[in-house]
Amino acid sequence: METSDRTTGDSGHPTLHYGTAQLARRARCSVQHVRDLERAGVLPPARRAGNGYRRYGDTHLRCLLGYRALAAAIGPAAAKELLRALHRDPLDAVLARLDAAHAELHRERAELAEATAATAAVAAEPVPDPRPADAMGIAELAAALGVRASALRHWEAEGLIGPGRDRGGARRYTPGQVRDARIVHQLRAAGYRIGAVRAVLAGLPRGGTAAVTAALVAREREIAARSLALLSATAALAPLCGA
C-alpha cells in the first residue's frame, strides 16, 4: 500500500506528498481517473519514490481539484485544455482563458434573462381562433423572428412547430404556431437543446406559462451551479498562478 509522507521543499516549508490512492481520495475520484489525467497532461508528471511508487504534491492536488471544478463549469474537454495551458503557456494566456469562461457564463445569464422576460410575455399572449387572413408565410415569420427560413424548416423537421399548407403547398403559420415559433426562438437563444425545447412545448397545453417558467428556472440553477464550480476552480488554481 502506498503511504503519504511529508518532506521539506527548497523553500524550507513542508510540502505534502500523496500516493495515487490518497490523492484520489482527497479529490473524491478514482485512482484510474488520476492516472488518466496524468497521461492527458492535466496533472504534471508524478515523481517516483525509491520503491517506484508515484508521489504527488500539493500542485497535483490543486490541479486535480481545479480540473474537476472546471469540468463541471465548462466541460471536460475545455477543462483539460485549460489545465494543459496552465503547464505550458504564459500566465496571461491562461488568465485569458479563465476570463473567457467567466464571460461565456455572463453571456448565458444575459440571454437567459431576455428569454425569461420574452417567453413569459409570449406564452401569456392570448391566441385567437385562427383565421386564414391571420396566417403568416415562412419568409414573413422568419423576418419577424430575425432568423433564417432554414431555421423554421429545421424546427419543423424536429417536430417543434407544424405549419399548415396552402393550396399551392406553401407553408402557412396560424397565430398559435407563430406563438410556438416565438417560444422556440427564445428558448434556443437561451441555450436549450432541441429535446428540452420539445419537452417545454409539450407542456404548454397542460401547464401553459408555468411549464416554460419552470424550464427557465432550471436553466438558471444550472448556470448558477456552473458559476460556483468556476469560482471553486479559480480558488484551487490561483496559488499556481502566483496569486
Would you state the pLDDT for residue 11? Answer: 46
Would you state the pLDDT for residue 8? Answer: 39
Would you state the pLDDT for residue 1? Answer: 36
Would you state the pLDDT for residue 114? Answer: 75
Summarize pLDDT for 20-73 with one digit per residue, the tens.
Answer: 999 999 999 999 999 999 999 999 999 888 888 899 999 999 999 999 999 999
Which pLDDT band holds residue 121 (cuts at 50, 70, 90)? low
Would you state the pLDDT for residue 5? Answer: 37
Would you state the pLDDT for residue 122? Answer: 62
Percent of the chain with pLDDT over 70: 83
Would you state the pLDDT for residue 68? Answer: 96
SS3 per-residue string spanning the chain: CCCCEEEECCCCCEEEEECHHHHHHHHCCCHHHHHHHHHCCCCCCCEECCCCCEEEEHHHHHHHHHHHHHHHHHCHHHHHHHHHHHHHCCHHHHHHHHHHHHHHHHHHHHHHHHHHHHHHHHHHCCCCCCCHHHCEEHHHHHHHHCCCHHHHHHHHHCCCCCCEECCCCCEEECHHHHHHHHHHHHHHHCCCCHHHHHHHHHHHHHHCHHHHHHHHHHHHHHHHHHHHHHHHHHHHHHHHHCC
If one compares 131 and 162, the residue with the highest pLDDT of the two is: 162
CB 123 within 8 A of CB 204: yes
If one compares 236 and 13, the residue with the highest pLDDT of the two is: 236
